[in-house]
Structures are given as C-alpha cells and as structure tokens.
Structure 1
C-alpha cells in the first residue's frame, strides 16, 4: 500500500474514533466574523492537541496567505523532536466555507480529504486565536508572538476545555526564538 493511502486510512480511522466521543457534544460555534486579510500571517502554536505529524514539534508556526481565488495557502513549519533538528514543513490549502463569516474552513493537506477548521475564538486585536473541530480530536491555540502571559495562557486553555476538550490532552509545544521571533 502506498504511503498516501496509508495516511488516508490512518486519518480516516482517527476521525472516526474521535467522532464517537464528539457525538455527545454540540457543534462548536465559530466566531461571527473573521477579517481574512487581517487573519493572514504568522501564528505561533502556543498549545495544541496535535495531529500525529506534529506530536514532537518544536517552534511550530502556522502561516496563512490569502490567494487571489479566496483560498488560503497554509504553511506549517516546525522542528521535529528538538530545537536542533531540521525545519520541516507541511503545506495545505484552506477553503473558506460560504456563509460562515470566514470562520469555518475545510483544510486539505492531501486530496481528497478536507479537515474541518473552525475559528472558535479570536481576540479582538487578532493577537490570539483558538482553532477547533467538532470532533474534539485536535485543537490549536495560537498567538502572534511565540510566548504569551500565564494569565492569557490559562484563559485560553479554559476556553478550550469549555469547548469540550480534555485538559489532559493539551500539549504546550516548546517555543524558543531569538529576539524578534525568527
């Protein structure tokens, strides 16, 4: 079996098993509106329930670029297993769901699967966000800076738990950047 078929089967099984738990929970409510141009750019992953590809991510950063066709080119960069490891990248495309206020996307890492992506929280100044999924299998707490205050971190994690995620599953990926974040 080819690697892409193995990845598709694995992803399907993970989604199916997570759906059993999430079936008892209401759908996650997205934010009312996302100003896409303002949302674009670099987001540091502050906390996550990671996919299998990012379980050992150091310095994880998601960068969004709005394309002319309205889709979003995403680049996820990280070091797998340590700060001294080579930078890895995962590229995908976000397809904004019509009439969602730009807050619900289908993200496609590989065809034909589009994973649900819900902007469940967005700070008014676009400095912090929570991306969630109805399946409650993965979540990402992100900020425009590689670190945030403990009070902000605690408040964001409390929001994630209120969405129906288990606090014990949340991982704080290591972030260590030189001054200026790069």
Structure 2
C-alpha cells in the first residue's frame, strides 16, 4: 500500500509539472548556455523539495552530453550527512537550440517537464534553474560551499522573475561528500 501511495504521489507531482512540447517560456531565460561548459557536477544549494527529496543533504546534479541527450544523475543523502545515498536518472533534451537554456527532462521514461536555465554566470560556477509554474527552483554551484551573500544574490534571480519561494529550502553540504 505504501508503494502505491508513493507512486500515485509521484505521478501527481509529475503531472502538475509536466509541459507540452509546444509550450513557450513564460519568463526570461539565460541568453546563452554553452552546453559543454554546463556539463559536469553541480552542488544543489537551494531547491524546492518534492516528496522524493524533502530530506536531501549533500545533493548534486551531474550532467553528461550523450549525443542529443543529457544524461543526468541527481544524487543526495536522505535525512542527514550520514544518510543513505539516493539517486535518480532523468534524461534531458535541449528544447531551444538557439539559447540552449530551455530543456525538457524526462522522468521515469514517461513524463517531460520543462527545465529553464534562468541564469548562469560567465565562469559557469553558479546557476539558477526554474520551471514554468514559478514554484520550483534550484540554486547550484560547482562547489559544496556557498556564502550567504552569494546565495542571497542568486535568490534575487528568482525574486526578479516572481517565483514563489515559500517552499525553497537551502540544502546543507559537508565540506566534502564521501561515499
């Protein structure tokens, strides 16, 4: 019964975040994203939790170009820095090839969700990712550490786009995450 409830909750979450292939961005995205520079591991410092990752610690997103696909590994420890590792593997596809800032992520092989790269700094050290509903967002960097002032600066990218930040959670990271 518990698995059925989890599956139904997951389906409901994904359905509310799914988008059609013809949907245009309803907000300003990054002007241009160099895909090769964007690939690699990002530490997630802020996110809007789902039922799957509401207790995430030490979370990372790793992107790898594989032809036209972007293989993704979302990894985090559940409940604490010592918690069990959880991993998910959505597959991304660039939707807007002019800017490379609009992707579609396929979850569990069945549902596509928009993935908007709202901001990436010129050195590809910091990024802010959003969603059409403006209620889901991710703040990431290449380092497990982020100063409060940098985090607040990146929050302003979301504020300037009228994001609902009531559920946004800052994720804790250890200086080094070890297996």
Q: Residue 44 of structure 2 contacts residue 138 of structure 2 at CA under 8 Å; is this kept in 1?
A: yes
Instruction: Find the counterpart in structure 1 of residue 14 from structure 2.
Output: 11
- Cα distance in structure 2, aligned partners of 1:59 and 1:40: 19
- The TM-score with structure 1 as length reference comes to 0.84
Deviation at 1:5, TM superposition (A): 5.8
Deviation at 1:149, TM superposition (A): 2.0
Relative to its length, the structure with more helix (as a share) is 1
- Cα distance in structure 2, aligned partners of 1:130 and 1:98: 17
1:139 is the counterpart of 2:141: no
- Cα distance in structure 2, aligned partners of 1:96 and 1:58: 28
- Cα RMSD after superposing both structures: 2.1
Count the aligned residue pairs: 169
What SS class does the counterpart of residue 169 from structure 2 fall into?
A: coil
Instruction: Find the counterpart in structure 2 of residue 23 from structure 1.
Output: none
Instruction: Find the counterpart in structure 2 of residue 62 from structure 1.
Output: 61
Select the residue among 168, 172, 177 that pairs with 2:166: 168
Q: Residue 60 of structure 1 contacts residue 76 of structure 1 at CA under 8 Å; is this kept in 2?
A: yes
Unaligned runs of 5+ in 2: 19-24
- Cα distance in structure 2, aligned partners of 1:175 and 1:121: 22
- Cα distance in structure 2, aligned partners of 1:79 and 1:5: 21
What SS class does the counterpart of residue 114 from structure 1 fall into?
A: strand
Instruction: Find the counterpart in structure 1 of residue 77 from structure 2.
Output: 79
Instruction: Find the counterpart in structure 1 of residue 22 from structure 2.
Output: none
Q: Residue 50 of structure 1 contacts residue 139 of structure 1 at CA under 8 Å; is this kept in 2?
A: no
Instruction: Find the counterpart in structure 1 of residue 86 from structure 2.
Output: 88
- The TM-score with structure 2 as length reference comes to 0.86
Instruction: Find the counterpart in structure 2 of residue 22 from structure 1.
Output: none
Instruction: Find the counterpart in structure 1 of residue 41 from structure 2.
Output: 42
